[in-house]
A and B are shown apart, each in its own frame.
Chain A
Amino acid sequence: MLVSTLRFISRGWVSSFYIKPRFHFTFYGFGWVKPFGEAGTYALFALMAIAALMVTIGLFYRAAITLFFLTFSYAELMDKTTYLNHYYFVSIIAFLLILVPAGRYFSVDARLRPQSKVDYVPGWCINIFKLQLVLVYFFAGLSKLNYDWLIAAMPLRIWLPANSQLWLVGGLLTQLWVAYVFSWFGFLFDLLIGFFLLDGRYRGWAYLFVLIFHLSTGWFFKIGMFPYIMIFVTLVFFSTETHLKILKAIGRLFGAKPQNVAPDKTYQLPSAAKGIVTAILVLHFVLQVIVPFRYLMYPGKLYWTEEGYRFSWRVMLMEKGGTAFFHVKDPHTGKRAEVINSLYLTSFQETQMSTQPDMILQYAHFLADVYRKKGIQNPVVTAESYVTLNGSGSRLFIDTTVNLAAQQETLFGHNKWIRPFKDNK
C-alpha cells in the first residue's frame, strides 16, 4: 500500500487526475466527495502515505489503518475515471484490517506496549481475508464464463498479438491458439484457485500458479500494482509456521534478536464488540456475494451497457473504445454547437467517458450547467458516441435524439437511452 501510494504521487498522477481536470465524475450518492484543491489533495495523499507506513511498521495500528482506509477510499471516490478493481480491493482489505488485531505481534506497538502483544488470534481474523480472496477470484472466474471470452477468445486475441515484440514469447503471442489457451487457463485459474489455496495439500502448487499467472499478466499488460498486491495478499493462505519463518527473516534483516518467549497469549474480542463485529462481517460478505450479481437486473448486454459492471471483480474482460461528440442545442433558436471535449476533460477522462453511459450522463449534465451559465435556458444536450466492443466495429452507443440534460441519474435504474448492442445501424 505504501509503495502504491508513493508510486501514485511520484508519477504526477495526483496532479493530472485530481487537480488539473475542471470536472470530476463522482459516484452515485458520493457527489460530495471532491478534491480539496492542490495543497489539500496532496495533503490527503501525504496522510495516506504516512498511515500506510505506520500500518507497515505497526505503530498505532488501529488508528493508522482506519486513517488509511478513509483517505484511500476518499481518493478513490473523487473521480470514477480512475476506478479500478484493485483500488476497490485495497479499500476492502483495509476495511477488514480495521477489524482485526494485526498490530499485536511483530510490530512497534507490541514493542512499546508489551502487554498488548498477542501470539494467537482466533481463526476468523485470518479466515475473513481468505474468504474475501476466494470471492474475488471466484467472481473474476465466473465473469469469464461467457461467449466472448471462451469461444471467441476476445479480447485476448487482440491484446496478445499487440505484445509480439516481447522477448522469447513474442512470436507465440501472435498465434490464435495461444489466445485460446490463455483465455481458458485464466478462466479456470480464477474460478478454482481460491479453493486450491484453501486446501493444504495443493497450496504449494496453487501458489506457484498464482506466481505464474500474476507475473505473466503483469509482464504482458500494463496493469500496474495489481499482480504484486495479489501475490503478497494470497500469502495469507499459508500456515502460521510459514509466516513466522518469513517474519523471522525480516526481523533478522533489521537486526532484531529472535525472541524466545513461548507463544501463549490469544487475542479475544471484548464481548461488547463481538456482536457488532459479527454483524458488520455478515453484512459485508452478504453484500460481497450479492453485488456482483446485480447486473442480472438489467436488460441488454452487460459489457455494452456497463450497468452493474463495477465492484464485481470484472477484470480485463473487454476491449472497448469510443469517440463521443456532444451537441448542445438552444431550444429557442434551434441552433446547435458541438462541444470541444478537451476544454473540460483530460484526454484520459474523455477516453473513459466515451464508453461508459453513467459518465456520459454526468458529463451531459455538466455541459448543461456550463451552457446555462452562458445564458442559454434549458439547453438540449445530446451525445453522439461511437463505440466498438471486442472488435465489433464502432456503432452508435447512445440514442442521439434523447436530451440527456433531462435524464436523471439513478442508483439501479436502467438507462433506456443506451442503444441495444445488436442493432447494427
Chain B
Amino acid sequence: MQSCKKSGADSASNNNSFDRKGLLSNVSTNIILPAYTSFQTSVNTFSAAIVAFNAAPDATKLTAAQNAFIALYKQWQWTSLYDFGPASQANFRVNINTFPTDVTQINANIASGTYNPNLLANLAAKGLPALDYLLFGVGADNNAILVQYTTDSQAANRKTYLATLTTEVKTRTDAIVSAWNGSYKATFLSADGTDVGSSLGQMVNQLVYDEEILKNFEIGIPAGVQSMGTTYPTKVQAYYSKISLQLALQHLQATQNLYLGKDGLGLDDYVAKVNAKYSDGRLLNDAIKAQFVIAQTKLQALSDPLSDNIATNNAAVVAAYTELQKLTVMLKTDMTSSLGILITFVDNDGD
C-alpha cells in the first residue's frame, strides 16, 4: 500500500486548530471527484463494449466486455465510499452493488421481458452483481456463455436485459457526477462543521459504514462468521468473475486512501492534530495506519477465487475478518470520538 510522509502535524501543540475546510477541499478535489470521474469513464467504456457485443456477439467481444467489466468493478471499490449527498439521495450504492445477486429474479425478468428498476425485489437483480452473473455466470465457460446470447431461445431477451442494466448504471452514474460537478461541491465545502449533517460528519459516517460493508459482506458473511460456522462461499462479491479478493484489496486501499487524504490534508492529519492516543499508548494515527497494513497483509495471504479459499482454508479468511474488525473499532470508536464526530444516522435531542 502506498505510504506517504506529510508535514504539518504538530502533535505537541496545544492549539487544536485544524483546517477542516482544507481537508474537505483536498478530499473532494483530489479524491472524490477523480473517483467519480474515473468510474464514469469506466462505465462509458463498459457501455460501449456491451453495445458492440449485443450488436454481434462473438468470443472477442465477450472477452472485451468481460475485461471492461472487471475494470469497472475495481473502480467501483474506489467509489462506494461516498454514499452521501447526491449519492445518498439516489441510493446509489444499493442500486449499483447489492450482492449476492438473485439469479432466480434475473431469469424471471429475462423470461418475462419486463423489468421495473424501482421494484425493491429487483435491487438484487441489477447493478454490477447482476452484470457479473450475466457476463460470467450464465454458462460454464465462454463458449457456453456465448450460446446464451446467440442461439438460446431467450438470447434476445437476455441481450435486452444486459443492455437495460448497463444503461441504468450509466444513467445513475451520470446523475451523481453531474450533481458533484454542479452545485454539490460548493455545498460540500460549506458544511465544514462536525455535526451529523456536516460534510465531515457524513463522510466519516460513510467511511465507517463502507468499511463494515467490506468486513461483513465481502468477507465475514461468506466465511460464516455470522451463521454459526455455516459458510456461504457463493455470497462473495463478484462470485462469477472470481475477482472477489482483488476487489476487497482495492476497497481497503480506497478506504486507506481517503483516511490519508491521498497525499494532502486527510483524516490522518486531523487525528494527529488532536494528539489522540490509542489504549496501548501509541498515537492513534500510527495505530490506525498500522492496522490498515495488517489487514491488507491478512487479505494478501488469501487468493482468488475467494469462494475456494472459504471452502479450503476458512481460518485464514476469518483471520482477515478479525483484523478488519479491529480496524472498524479504531475508525468507528477511537477516531470519531477523538474528533467529536457522532456515529449515528439520526439526529437526536442530546444533552
Residues of A bordering B, CB below 8 Å: 8, 11, 13, 16, 82, 84-86, 157-159, 161-166, 171, 174-177, 221-226, 315-316, 319-323, 325, 328, 330, 333, 335-340, 346-348, 351, 386-388, 391-395, 424-425
Contact with A along B311-351 (1 / 0, CB 8 A): 00000000000000100111011101111111111111111
* In the complex with contacts A84-B350, A321-B343, A174-B228 CB distance below 8 A: no
Say whether B284 contacts A393, CB under 8 Å. yes
* In the complex with contacts A174-B18, A424-B280, A394-B346 CB distance below 8 A: no
Minimum CB–CB distance from A303 to chain B (whole Å) comes to: 13
Q: Given A162-B193, A174-B17, 12 other A-B contacts at CB below 8 A?
A: A82-B348, A162-B339, A164-B20, A171-B17, A174-B18, A224-B350, A337-B229, A338-B220, A340-B226, A347-B343, A393-B276, A425-B280
Minimum CB–CB distance from A327 to chain B (whole Å) comes to: 9
Residues of A within 8 A of B350 (CB): 84, 221-224
In the assembled complex, the Cα of A84 lies from the Cα of B330 at a distance in Å of: 27
Say whether B14 contacts A176, CB under 8 Å. yes
Say whether B193 contacts A163, CB under 8 Å. yes
**B143 contacts chain A at the CB level, 8 A cutoff:** no
In the complex, the 7 A-B pairs of residues with the closest C-beta atoms, listed nearest first: A162-B340, A393-B279, A321-B337, A224-B349, A174-B17, A161-B16, A162-B194
The 24 sampled A-B contact pairs (Cβ below 8 Å) are A11-B347, A158-B274, A158-B337, A158-B340, A163-B193, A165-B193, A176-B14, A176-B16, A222-B348, A225-B349, A321-B336, A321-B337, A321-B343, A338-B226, A339-B226, A340-B226, A347-B346, A351-B343, A388-B338, A391-B277, A393-B277, A393-B334, A394-B333, A424-B280
Say whether B344 contacts A338, CB under 8 Å. no
**B58 contacts chain A at the CB level, 8 A cutoff:** no
Say whether A161 contacts B340, CB under 8 Å. yes
**B225 contacts chain A at the CB level, 8 A cutoff:** yes
Say whether B351 contacts A224, CB under 8 Å. yes
Minimum CB–CB distance from A312 to chain B (whole Å) comes to: 13
Minimum CB–CB distance from A107 to chain B (whole Å) comes to: 29
* In the complex with contacts A174-B15, A222-B195, A323-B328, A346-B346 CB distance below 8 A: yes
In the assembled complex, the Cα of A394 lies from the Cα of B338 at a distance in Å of: 10
Residues of A within 8 A of B300 (CB): none
Minimum CB–CB distance from B222 to chain A (whole Å) comes to: 13
**B153 contacts chain A at the CB level, 8 A cutoff:** no
* In the complex with contacts A333-B228, A337-B227, A388-B337 CB distance below 8 A: yes
Q: Which of B226, B276, B279, B351 has the most CB of A within 10 A?
A: B351
Q: Which of A165, A175, A336, A395 has the most CB of B within 10 A?
A: A165
Q: Which of B15, B20, B225, B329 is the one whose CB lies under 8 Å from A323?
A: B329
Q: Which of B276, B332, B336, B351 is the one whose CB lies under 8 Å from A84?
A: B351
The residue on B at minimum CB distance from A343 is: B226
**B168 contacts chain A at the CB level, 8 A cutoff:** no
**B278 contacts chain A at the CB level, 8 A cutoff:** yes
Say whether A388 contacts B20, CB under 8 Å. no
In the assembled complex, the Cα of A394 lies from the Cα of B327 at a distance in Å of: 12
The residue on B at minimum CB distance from A354 is: B333
Minimum CB–CB distance from A19 to chain B (whole Å) comes to: 13
Residues of B bordering A, CB below 8 Å: 14-18, 20-21, 192-196, 216, 220, 225-229, 274, 276-280, 284, 325, 328-330, 332-334, 336-351
Residues of B within 8 A of A316 (CB): 351
* In the complex with contacts A86-B351, A158-B340, A394-B333, A347-B345 CB distance below 8 A: yes
The residue on B at minimum CB distance from A159 is: B340
In the assembled complex, the Cα of A223 lies from the Cα of B344 at a distance in Å of: 15
Chain B, interface SS category? loop
In the assembled complex, the Cα of A166 lies from the Cα of B279 at a distance in Å of: 31
Say whether B348 contacts A348, CB under 8 Å. yes
* In the complex with contacts A164-B18, A165-B20, A174-B15, A424-B340 CB distance below 8 A: no
* In the complex with contacts A16-B346, A338-B225, A393-B278 CB distance below 8 A: yes
Minimum CB–CB distance from A165 to chain B (whole Å) comes to: 5
Q: Which of A315, A323, A328 is the one whose CB lies under 8 Å from B332?
A: A323
In the assembled complex, the Cα of A351 lies from the Cα of B341 at a distance in Å of: 12
Q: Which of A163, A174, A316, A319 has the most CB of B within 10 A?
A: A174
Residues of B within 8 A of A337 (CB): 225-229
Say whether A161 contacts B17, CB under 8 Å. yes
In the assembled complex, the Cα of A319 lies from the Cα of B341 at a distance in Å of: 10
Residues of A within 8 A of B225 (CB): 337-338
Say whether A84 contacts B14, CB under 8 Å. no
In the assembled complex, the Cα of A402 lies from the Cα of B195 at a distance in Å of: 36
* In the complex with contacts A162-B341, A163-B194, A387-B351 CB distance below 8 A: no
In the assembled complex, the Cα of A85 lies from the Cα of B350 at a distance in Å of: 9
In the assembled complex, the Cα of A84 lies from the Cα of B351 at a distance in Å of: 6
Say whether B337 contacts A175, CB under 8 Å. no
In the assembled complex, the Cα of A145 lies from the Cα of B331 at a distance in Å of: 31
The residue on A at minimum CB distance from B321 is: A338
* In the complex with contacts A162-B339, A176-B15, A388-B334 CB distance below 8 A: yes
* In the complex with contacts A82-B349, A323-B328, A337-B228, A158-B333 CB distance below 8 A: no
Residues of A within 8 A of B216 (CB): 340
The residue on A at minimum CB distance from B208 is: A323
Say whether B340 contacts A394, CB under 8 Å. no
The residue on A at minimum CB distance from B194 is: A162
Minimum CB–CB distance from A339 to chain B (whole Å) comes to: 7
Say whether A319 contacts B325, CB under 8 Å. no
Minimum CB–CB distance from A382 to chain B (whole Å) comes to: 14
In the assembled complex, the Cα of A84 lies from the Cα of B276 at a distance in Å of: 28
* In the complex with contacts A176-B16, A338-B225, A395-B279, A386-B193 CB distance below 8 A: no
The residue on A at minimum CB distance from B198 is: A165
In the assembled complex, the Cα of A328 lies from the Cα of B226 at a distance in Å of: 9
Minimum CB–CB distance from B200 to chain A (whole Å) comes to: 9
Say whether A348 contacts B346, CB under 8 Å. yes
The residue on B at minimum CB distance from A157 is: B16
The residue on B at minimum CB distance from A176 is: B14
* In the complex with contacts A161-B340, A175-B15, A393-B228 CB distance below 8 A: no
Say whether A161 contacts B18, CB under 8 Å. yes
The residue on B at minimum CB distance from A175 is: B15
Residues of A within 8 A of B229 (CB): 335-337
Minimum CB–CB distance from A196 to chain B (whole Å) comes to: 23
* In the complex with contacts A164-B17, A176-B14, A386-B329 CB distance below 8 A: yes
Residues of B within 8 A of A320 (CB): 337
Say whether B337 contacts A391, CB under 8 Å. yes
